[in-house]
Amino acid sequence: MKSLDNVADYLGVLPKQKRVNLEWYQIPEYWGDPKKRDIVLKYNLDDVKATYLLKDVFFPFGEQLTEISGLPLDQLSMASMGYRVEWLLMRQAKKFNELIPNRAERKYDSYRGGLVIEPKPGLHEDVVVLDFSSMYPSIMIKYNIGPDTLVSGECDDCWTAPEVGYKFRKDVDGFYRSILNFLIEERRKAKEELNRATDEYEKRRLDERQRALKIMANTMYGYMGWLGARWYSREGAEAVTAWGREIIMNAAKVAKEFGYDVIYGDTDSIFVKGDMHSLDRLVQSIIGKLDLEIKIDKKYKKVFFTENKKKVCRTYIRWKDRYCRV
């Protein structure tokens, strides 16, 4: 239950064992007994402390999201990520000479999502996860994807999405690409300032800012395919996942050429096992061929896959922690 005491306990700002705990139905009884009334007062004081301390957990991040999106802080916590992105786009529209579209009602129409390479069931040792950094935003930038760059007819200077065949102009930056570049540049500046900062408050503020900028950028793809979006583009969202599937297949192909066994893949990452000494060369080869950043995300001592997708037990090499995600 997401009560104040449970949230404060979970986040470590005021553990339950260090505060007065009462159930709601006990309060009238305690307040009516002069000998127990002080317990109710201490209970209320602990609630105030918990609320105040939680401010330091939630406020800095919310403050940065408000500053980036323009959405008032009192509305931010209730707003979906899509709505937060839309406020950012509306705020930036004038800067990029973009008219704000009206809202429109749309019928749900599904499209194919990211690629999942079937897992190889069983126990595997010394497995490495290679993860593409912010794959979908990177695809949107690289191929200039958006509703304003989509070409319905013939085009001699366009990017053409695999499988689906949608075309996107190369000769002008689309609105989505412009906003994503803005977010990435702002994050770069924030990280540079964070590296130079010495004041602890300023370091925390900048860290929350770069994190908020990253989340906003990573949400842009989801917003584009959201039926309620003003800048909706089903074709754009479908093209992003099509390019994503092609990238994962090509990355797996390169890994196999290096002699690695690809035991699983999911949307923006692949699980491989093989020569641990040539991983850096593999990473550089994938980057060179696909022109997208990929990194070694995790190393597992042991991984157990079932026949079902997304069900895996793992043992970390680095921390030796064991857990199972199902």
pLDDT in tens, 256-303: 998 999 998 888 899 998 888 888 899 999 999 988 888 988 888 888
pLDDT in tens, 220-251: 999 999 999 999 999 999 999 999 999 999 99
Task: Tell me which residue of 248, 249, 299, 247 sits closest to 143, measured CA to CA.
Answer: 247
Residues 104-113, mean pLDDT to the nearest whole number: 82
For β-strands 116-117 and 261-266, DSSP reports them as antiparallel
The b/e string for 129-166 (b: 16+ C-beta within 10 A; e otherwise) is bbbbebbbbbbbbebbbbbbbbeeeeeeebbebeeeeb
Residue spans of the domains in the chain: they are 4-74, 116-325
Distance in angstroms (rounded) separating the CA atoms of residues 208 and 212: 6
What pTM was computed for the model?
A: 0.78
pLDDT-based confidence at 308, cuts 50/70/90?
low
The separation between CA 6 and the C-alpha centre of its own chain, rounded to angstroms, equals 26
pLDDT-based confidence at 309, cuts 50/70/90?
low
pLDDT in tens, 160-190: 999 999 999 998 999 999 999 999 999 999 9
Is it the case that residue 144 has pLDDT exceeding 90? Answer: yes
Is it the case that residue 78 has pLDDT exceeding 70? Answer: yes
Strand ordering across the sheet containing 294-305 = 116-117, 261-266, 269-273, 122-132, 294-305, 312-316, 322-325
Fill in the amino acid letter for 280.
D
Assign domain 116-325 to its CATH architecture.
Alpha-Beta Complex (3.90)
Distance in angstroms (rounded) separating the CA atoms of residues 164 and 239: 7
- Pull the structure tokens for residue 76: 């931010």
Task: Tell me which residue of 300, 325, 299, 297 sits closest to 312, measured CA to CA.
Answer: 325
Is it the case that residue 326 has pLDDT exceeding 70? Answer: no
